[in-house]
Amino acid sequence: MMKLAQINPVVRSAGKTTFLPGYDGQVKSGSIEDHDLHLAYRGRGVLIIDGCRYSMEVGDVVTVFPGESFCVEVEGDKPFSRYYVHLDFFKDKSERLLTPVLEGGITWPRHVRLMHDTRARELCADVVLRALSRGTDEASSIIIEGNIRSLLGIMVEQYSGRQKDEVGVYTKCRRNILQAERFIRENYRRNLTLTEIAGAAGFSPDYFGRAFKALMGCSPLNYLAGYRLNEAKRLMVENDFAIGEIARQVGYEDIHYFSYLFKHREGITPSEFISRLAIEE
């Protein structure tokens, strides 16, 4: 029995797929030979694993274990998108099919709903970009391994319920916070204020700010900025829009401010990010 502290993850492959409305899982995978993490980042879908259905919304992570097969269905009238990462928890060939056990002998979670899904999506996006570039340099390998460790840690923390002591104070208002989160996702292109977002949850701005940070791990406005920049990266990957157009589509009229925020968060400018994508293709 391998414990969580013993993991030494290896990413075999990674990518992202968008399934259009009406997709009904007609294509089924064969039995996979490693662990497969699926993180939903847009829309709603269902992962069907050996006949069992697991509904997925944005922020949900589902693990497919070695020897299992799966297929995907789309729910609703919007596309369903997810990142996937094939990995082994342990580098030793004799242990590559083993799954770590959590504290108390708890088995690795099948389905986890992440409150901190923005950070998890950032980690997955970076892993996918680096994996698709097929880089073999040591720096990329170290970063990929670090990102996966962070993602696995987020999953375990959420599943185990080891939140900050403050979270317990705000547990009863989780539904309201998630309602405000949806409001941000649906209106991020507008010039949102803290007061307006708090109103969507039915709270005063001060109380809402504390509750949101306790449950989501960041302030409402930081979450808004993170969501906008994630959408900007998605547009860069999927389209050939000019940087100014991308900035406007995610809610920034000032392209210089958008570029400043992007570089502060990503470490490179939007132009450098697009150039990197062109090289990876």
Domain boundaries, the chain: 4-160, 167-280
Res 1 pLDDT > 70: no
Confidence of residue 165 (pLDDT cuts 50, 70, 90): very low
Q: Report pTM.
A: 0.59
Averaged pLDDT for residues 115-121 = 76
Secondary structure class of 38 (helix, strand, coil):
strand
Q: Does domain 167-280 have CATH number 3.20.20.70?
A: no
Greater pLDDT, 27 or 5: 5
Alpha helices in the chain (DSSP H): 117-132, 138-160, 167-170, 174-187, 194-201, 205-216, 220-238, 243-249, 255-266, 270-280
Mean pLDDT of the chain: 84
Predicted pLDDT at 81? 92
Which helix (H) or strand (E) covers residue 55, if one does? strand 52-56
Q: Which pLDDT score is estimated for 61?
A: 94
Residues 6+ apart with CB under 8 A from 202: 176
Residue reference for tokens 């390998």: 141
| pLDDT for 256 beyond 90 | yes
> Starting at the edge strand that comes first in sequence, how are the strands of the sheet with 10-19 ordered?
10-19, 80-88, 35-42, 60-64, 111-113
Residue 216 confidence (pLDDT) above 60: yes
| Residue 166 pLDDT level (bands cut at 50, 70, 90) | very low
85-116 burial by CB neighbour count: b if 16+ within 10 A, else e?
bbbbbbeeeeebebbbeeeeeeebeeebebbb
**Contact in structure between 58 and 41 (CB atoms under 8 Å):** yes
Contact of 37 with 87, CB cutoff 8 Å = yes
pLDDT at 163: 43
Q: Class for domain 4-160, per CATH?
A: mainly beta
Task: Note the pLDDT of residue 230.
Answer: 86
First-to-last CA distance in the chain? 41
The pLDDT value recorded for residue 27 is: 57
- What's the confidence (pLDDT) of residue 172? 60
